[in-house]
Structure 1
């Protein structure tokens, strides 16, 4: 039994996902299926051949293709140009059709011109609705596309009949507006969908595209990373990322593993120790033996975790898609019964088709299609002004329903960079002098400790002679003719008088011995305690998931007011913790900022990325994996997002309630001919427009 991932063509909505899943699941030899609408991919486990799977999917009206990209690559971005063009043409050609409705203008376009303006909108811009409806009809299926195609097509045909019959009250705008409004909604959905694979691309981009491969004779050749093989030796220069997983063959340096642990301090590494693709070497060059390449690297496995977490969630299905299986056939059956009933009672097809057409037009789900996208669009603007970027309405709704909220530590609850806490003076120099010497020695270092000392000094730096870096230990150099060494206790060969288990101690030694000890450590965000207290007051259970050690993790959690702490977690372990909470029935939100948080952000019911936090490596991947991104520094936007989640969910429910209520009230009236005395299809078009306007105006309340 094997697991394969295939590309799927032709999917546009959650209904399509259900059809493809059903086709694949009923293929002999298939044990499980996951179809991901965001990446247009299907992951199939079983023994079925590709040919058998492709045949079943083709029978359902879709296409199954073998993946052409390398394993682990992100899905296609998608070209929004054609969708944007269709939307623009539809809106541009529809606008003149409403001139006759503007009081005081008195502009009434000739019927022929109205037909010419509306035809491209209905049959070119809206051609996709007709093609999908026809394909679904061939396979005995129906969806909202069916109603849209029937409604717009019948409305346009009816308008042509009115024009040819000499009527001055034409309804071309009804057909055009239906297509234009729905294409706008579809474009908004497509634009969001193209961003679904950004997390994978961000993750995979952490590994460099090339590597320095060492030949048997010691020569160095720059080669593409994809050309590396197990057993190759490569050289990694300071400041460069590790190209593959491997083991250090020669050299020692410090390695920034924040992409794995979330912790900003580099880890000392020496010969025989493991290196992971995407981590960054500092201080000295290393030679590495390659042990894993391509999809076997831990970085690729992390990308797979993100893709798996995105695909494992039920596809976002708005209410319109979920009931389409009943609503659409019901409307079609009702329209046929209306046509037959009136024909039988009146004895005239000419009289019978008006109520049936009115029913089809009034049942077209324009307001229904706008209910969610318009609310999300307005809510997105309101959220952005509050420092929250919203990418997924389902995740925003989940935040409003959340029972548990988990935080990463470094860069999320904390500021994510070492700051000077204390200076212990042991020699004849005062604190200011000790800081001036230490900061001068560290002036050219990219190490986080160096940046912390330079920032703490904040003044002019002195010239340094004979500077030398000692990877994994510290640095040395002369300031004003005096030799100094700065680094760990082991490097200096002394024992520090006190050690802070929650911080990092660095000593400064001169010719006479140890002169002073600097203690640096991360610091809780100033607003963290207040935000945590308010979230607890809302009934949320709060957790801290960190890759840091137990002691600093618990210290920060206690300072913030969080009782549940899990420390020393790798990315996959954070993901498993969230899965366990979800399995217990919890609705889980997760707040993080590093690439190590990307799988957890994707798995959570609502992932929230700190978009302007600590500047850690891989923050872009966390932002891409999360449906909510905090654009403003600090944790207060989490509270704003929670409040906005409640308001947006309420507006969407109101919009959907209005859209369905509109159909429930007017469809029966149309079927019994009660709308004919008020203009029939004309009234249907007006009512449809008013319904859409009501939905839009209601959504605009989110701006307040």
Structure 2
């Protein structure tokens, strides 16, 4: 049973996803199909040919295309700019029409001016509603777009008829306001979709665009990474990223694999050892043989994991579309019955279509469309002031309902930077003198241990000559004409005194022997135990998922107060652990900070990225993959976000309750003609606007 991924065109909302999935699943030979709105792709399992699938999807009103073979992940190209421009034009042109409705203002626009202002709003800014409604109608489908198109279109035509008949109060503002309010909600949705592929772009950007390929005669040629093939030999310079997966054939260097393990210390690499695309070489150049390229690299597979996890999420805005699957057809039928009933009762179409139009306009789900996105917009603004960037309302809701919260270790509950803990002098030199010598030797090194030593020394440094880096061992150089070496016990060829604590030990020695040992270690964030304690009091089960060794992970978990620990996990392992918890019925949140955490952040019901270290490699991809990002240092914003999550979910439910309650009360009144005495469609437009204003004002309470 094969699995293939295709591009899908023409999708704009969650209902489109269901239509495409239904078309694919009903295709003979298809076993399963999953459509991803974020990346505009469809993954199909089965034996159906591309031509058969494309014909089936086209019949449903959409398009299917085969992705390029060398693309690891297909990314959507939706641009929110046009949607923003249509929204702005609609709001600007609608404003004068709404001002004319204010009593006592005295602003009465001539009918031809109202027609000119409203026509671009309805038939240009709102043209997409008509196109989608027409496409859905051709395939026997209906959605909110159908009511919007009918309501705004019929209301505008009705206003023209009023104008031509000399009616003083025209209802052009009804058609224009309906489109303007709905475009605002659609714009928020388009922005969310545009950001959905940021995580994939960040991941794939870790691999360099070019590589230095070695010819049989030793010549070096810079070529695009896409031209690499398994078996090619490549040179990777210090500070550069590995272009593809492979193994070292020559050279010794240290490689930063934090994107895979989350751990900050580079790993020594020599001939025969594996290299992964996107990792960074330090110290000296390496030569490697390419073994996997393109979609077969581990980096591309990680990107695919993120895409699949994102695709499995249902956005909060999907709720209104799912409800409209029943609501919209019911309103259409009721409008037709209203038209027929009044026509039969009065014998005049002119009298019959007013209640039908009133019903269509008053039932247009403007408040329903705004109920969720407006609450989300205000909620994420409040969250940002509390140090949390919210990308997805569903994830914010999940944080409030979470039963389990898992943490990465390095850079999450710890600071993620090796710091000096102790100096052990083994000679007559003072601790300060030893640290000054060590910091001077490490001044020009980019190694995390070097940064820890240099940061620990606050004074002036000595000049160093004959400096040399020894990958996997340490550094050497001369200070004041005296030769010094700094590094591991194996590199120095001496035994270190036993250190009764977990940490990294490096020694300083000269020709006469060991002079001192520096113990460095990652430091627990000061607030981690307190935050963990409050989360436990709220009933959350806490977990620690880390790529670190079991012993230091257990010690760190004990210090924080976390009982469940899983150590030695690669990205796939963290992802699997989260899926295991979800399979048991848990609502899982995950807090991480590196590229290695991106798949887990996307899979979790609520992914939370530490954004305070945005300058570190991979943090950008973690932030893009996570629907929640901590903008302030530390973990305290999680507590504020959880409180806000509960309030936002409550406001969304209130807004949806109001939107449906409004329809349940006014739709029967419109159908029975009870609203005609109060202006009919004019009142319908005002009621629709007030309904929308109500949900906005209710959402603004989240700012308190």
After TM superposition, the structure 1 stretch with the greater mean CA deviation from structure 2, 148-157 or 258-267, is 148-157
* Aligned-partner Cα distance in 2 for 1:438–1:380: 47
Name the counterpart of 2:550: 550
Map 1:581-600 → 2, pairs under 5 A: 581-600=581-600
The answer on whether the counterparts of 2:7 and 2:74 sit within 8 Å (CA) in structure 1 is: no
Tell me, what secondary structure is at the counterpart of 1:287? strand
* Aligned-partner Cα distance in 2 for 1:522–1:104: 69
* Aligned-partner Cα distance in 1 for 2:150–2:389: 37
The answer on whether the counterparts of 1:358 and 1:680 sit within 8 Å (CA) in structure 2 is: yes
The answer on whether the counterparts of 1:240 and 1:280 sit within 8 Å (CA) in structure 2 is: yes
* Aligned-partner Cα distance in 2 for 1:69–1:699: 46
After TM superposition, the structure 1 stretch with the greater mean CA deviation from structure 2, 259-268 or 475-484, is 475-484
Name the counterpart of 2:435: 435
* Aligned-partner Cα distance in 2 for 1:265–1:549: 13
Name the counterpart of 2:101: 101
The answer on whether the counterparts of 2:242 and 2:277 sit within 8 Å (CA) in structure 1 is: yes
Q: Report Cα offsets for 1:588-642 as digits up to 9, x if no partner.
A: 1111000000000110111111111374311111011111111111111111211
* Aligned-partner Cα distance in 2 for 1:224–1:318: 41
* Aligned-partner Cα distance in 2 for 1:432–1:501: 21
2:319 maps to 1:291: no
* Aligned-partner Cα distance in 1 for 2:335–2:688: 17
Name the counterpart of 2:511: 511
Q: Report Cα offsets for 1:424-475 as digits up to 9, x if no partner.
A: 1111101000000000000100000000000111211001122111111111
The answer on whether the counterparts of 2:607 and 2:626 sit within 8 Å (CA) in structure 1 is: yes
Name the counterpart of 2:525: 525
* Aligned-partner Cα distance in 2 for 1:525–1:259: 21
Name the counterpart of 1:223: 223
* Aligned-partner Cα distance in 2 for 1:312–1:667: 36
Tell me, what secondary structure is at the counterpart of 1:255? strand
* Aligned-partner Cα distance in 2 for 1:285–1:497: 34
The answer on whether the counterparts of 1:14 and 1:316 sit within 8 Å (CA) in structure 2 is: no
The answer on whether the counterparts of 2:362 and 2:667 sit within 8 Å (CA) in structure 1 is: yes
Q: Shift of the alpha carbon at 1:51? A: 1.1
The answer on whether the counterparts of 2:614 and 2:620 sit within 8 Å (CA) in structure 1 is: no
Q: Shift of the alpha carbon at 1:346? A: 2.6
Q: Shift of the alpha carbon at 1:2? A: 1.8
Tell me, what secondary structure is at the counterpart of 1:101? coil
Q: Shift of the alpha carbon at 1:312? A: 2.8
Tell me, what secondary structure is at the counterpart of 2:5? strand
Map 1:41-440 → 2, pairs under 5 A: 41-68=41-68, 70-314=70-314, 316-440=316-440
Q: Shift of the alpha carbon at 1:82? A: 2.0
Aligned CA-pair RMSD = 1.3
Contiguous gaps of at least 5 residues in structure 2: none
After TM superposition, the structure 1 stretch with the greater mean CA deviation from structure 2, 345-354 or 331-340, is 345-354
Using the size of structure 2 for normalisation, the TM-score is: 0.98
* Aligned-partner Cα distance in 1 for 2:218–2:542: 54
The answer on whether the counterparts of 1:435 and 1:453 sit within 8 Å (CA) in structure 2 is: yes
* Aligned-partner Cα distance in 2 for 1:467–1:675: 88
Q: Shift of the alpha carbon at 1:273? A: 0.9
* Aligned-partner Cα distance in 2 for 1:154–1:43: 40
Map 1:454-603 → 2, pairs under 5 A: 454-499=454-499, 502-603=502-603
Distance change (3 Å), C-alpha of 1:21 and 1:315: farther
Tell me, what secondary structure is at the counterpart of 1:194? helix
The answer on whether the counterparts of 1:411 and 1:614 sit within 8 Å (CA) in structure 2 is: no
Q: Shift of the alpha carbon at 1:318? A: 3.1
The answer on whether the counterparts of 2:400 and 2:643 sit within 8 Å (CA) in structure 1 is: yes
Q: Shift of the alpha carbon at 1:525? A: 0.4
Name the counterpart of 1:30: 30
* Aligned-partner Cα distance in 1 for 2:105–2:673: 33
After TM superposition, the structure 1 stretch with the greater mean CA deviation from structure 2, 314-323 or 287-296, is 314-323
Distance change (3 Å), C-alpha of 1:615 and 1:112: closer
Tell me, what secondary structure is at the counterpart of 1:248? strand
* Aligned-partner Cα distance in 2 for 1:121–1:99: 16
Distance change (3 Å), C-alpha of 1:307 and 1:501: farther
* Aligned-partner Cα distance in 2 for 1:103–1:519: 77
Q: Report Cα offsets for 1:131-166 as digits up to 9, x if no partner.
A: 111111111111111111111111111111111121
Q: Shift of the alpha carbon at 1:103? A: 4.2
* Aligned-partner Cα distance in 1 for 2:326–2:227: 54
The answer on whether the counterparts of 1:36 and 1:315 sit within 8 Å (CA) in structure 2 is: no
Distance change (3 Å), C-alpha of 1:68 and 1:118: farther
Name the counterpart of 2:3: 3
Distance change (3 Å), C-alpha of 1:139 and 1:334: same
Q: Shift of the alpha carbon at 1:297? A: 1.1
* Aligned-partner Cα distance in 2 for 1:324–1:695: 18
Q: Report Cα offsets for 1:239-288 as digits up to 9, x if no partner.
A: 11111111111111111110000000111111111111111111111111
* Aligned-partner Cα distance in 1 for 2:614–2:105: 57
Distance change (3 Å), C-alpha of 1:680 and 1:654: same
* Aligned-partner Cα distance in 1 for 2:271–2:216: 19
Using the size of structure 1 for normalisation, the TM-score is: 0.98
Q: Shift of the alpha carbon at 1:502? A: 2.4
Contiguous gaps of at least 5 residues in structure 1: none
Q: Shift of the alpha carbon at 1:237? A: 1.3
After TM superposition, the structure 1 stretch with the greater mean CA deviation from structure 2, 599-608 or 212-221, is 212-221
The answer on whether the counterparts of 2:73 and 2:304 sit within 8 Å (CA) in structure 1 is: no
* Aligned-partner Cα distance in 2 for 1:317–1:5: 25
Q: Shift of the alpha carbon at 1:500? A: 5.3
* Aligned-partner Cα distance in 1 for 2:590–2:69: 31
Distance change (3 Å), C-alpha of 1:344 and 1:30: same
Map 1:8-19 → 2, pairs under 5 A: 8-19=8-19
The answer on whether the counterparts of 1:30 and 1:45 sit within 8 Å (CA) in structure 2 is: yes
* Aligned-partner Cα distance in 1 for 2:84–2:343: 43
Q: Report Cα offsets for 1:276-306 as digits up to 9, x if no partner.
A: 1111111111111111111111111111111
The answer on whether the counterparts of 1:73 and 1:201 sit within 8 Å (CA) in structure 2 is: no
* Aligned-partner Cα distance in 2 for 1:69–1:381: 41
The answer on whether the counterparts of 2:315 and 2:392 sit within 8 Å (CA) in structure 1 is: no
Q: Report Cα offsets for 1:450-507 as digits up to 9, x if no partner.
A: 0000011121100112211111111111212221111001111111111456210001
Name the counterpart of 1:608: 608
